[in-house]
A and B are shown apart, each in its own frame.
Chain A
Amino acid sequence: MIKTLKYILLGFYFGFVLIKSEAVSWYRIVEMFHFQSFHLFGVIGSAVVTGIVSIFLIKRLYLTTLDDEVVDLTPKPIRFKANFFGGILFGLGWSLVGACTAPLFIHFGAGSYIIVVAIAAAILGTFVYGTIKHKLPH
């Protein structure tokens, strides 16, 4: 029960700061890909720097989780073709909808219910990937 609440609250926190960053704005995404503003580059850049510094501190200070476990910092395995080609396809989708994954759910919560079309399409895209995965270069 407490765990359930914890993850909902953490998702709420992330969703809210993402909203405040305006990375959920369709307009901001179009603006960013046109290089018409520094705003979202500043958001992403400073978010990544914060992440890098916090990982550095976790390692340096041997911080452990609340359950006293060693923090698992194993990165995802590199599969160059999949990361790159998949990345390009994801980026295409990001620019065409004007939203990446989390913002799709923000739009839904915000009441722009037409976004369920894109969410359903994303589920279909995931289903198709899982089905034809073995035929793709990885």
Chain B
Amino acid sequence: MFIRPMFRLVKDGTRINFMNGRFAGLIVSAILSTASIVLFFTPGLTLGIDFKGGIVIEARTPEPADIAKIRTAIAAQGVREAGVQRFGEVNSVAIRLDAPPTEAATQQLVGRVRAALEAAQPGTRLVRTDAVGASVSSELFHDGMMALGLSLLMILVYIWFRFEWQFAVGAVVTLVLDLTKAIGFLVLTHLEFDLVMVGAILTILGYSTNDKVVVYDRMRENLRKYKSMPLRELIDLSINETLNRTLGTSMTVFLASLPLALFGGTSLSAFAWCMLFGIVVGTSSSIFIAAPILLFLGEHRLRRDAVAPEAAKPVKQ
């Protein structure tokens, strides 16, 4: 362990015919993504208050919290839908309220709930208050989506610039598929979609792109190196050659995110779970989605020069 490596993830000279599974990969991916899109519309994402607007209060009561009493006290403030939950310890309560239509009303509501809590259980302290008005939340949502969209665009432009267009299309189609799956994951797990989650999704996209770029890089190199190898074989070779790196990096990012998911605290663990899912999706999509797309798009075009030697082969024999 100090001088020589002790393990290898994949044995040297491994040659798995990934492209045999190209249809299976694409079909599974298409099914998952379609299901995710359906989930996105019903039941839809659990929006955090950043994007939905509303009030989240975390309070600590001097004695064990009397949930029923607190619920009645808050209901007395004329709130339509209030979520009151115990939060971790016995004297900790989380209260969630929908945003009233105007910003001023939101602020008044915070004040009233504060007073109601104090009246219900004197000595209660609000350890966290987040109140986001309706108009601000829609702006935050707009900005978040803008950041996501522009990042995708930048990635497309960059890859287009550095590789041939088939690579760029392959990468961006794969990223969009990854993105939909991440959204499906968020819907299923009820993890809140908020600003931090946009950061997580962007990181997943960045990571996934990174993975694709490494495999693409090898393909480009092999395209120059093996002038006459059929594209399908070449793609398989490139994936196999970079497999140790692909899986290795996934492992390190996975290992770095795991402690965060397990004991990073409420908001960071949601972020980290999303990351962990994204790592698995991003790694597998490099192999099973991005590569087959490239194979379909590039079958004839990327191998234009190769056609001649191949046609010439039988003559030589």
A and B bound? no
CB within 8 Å of A: which residues of B?
A: none
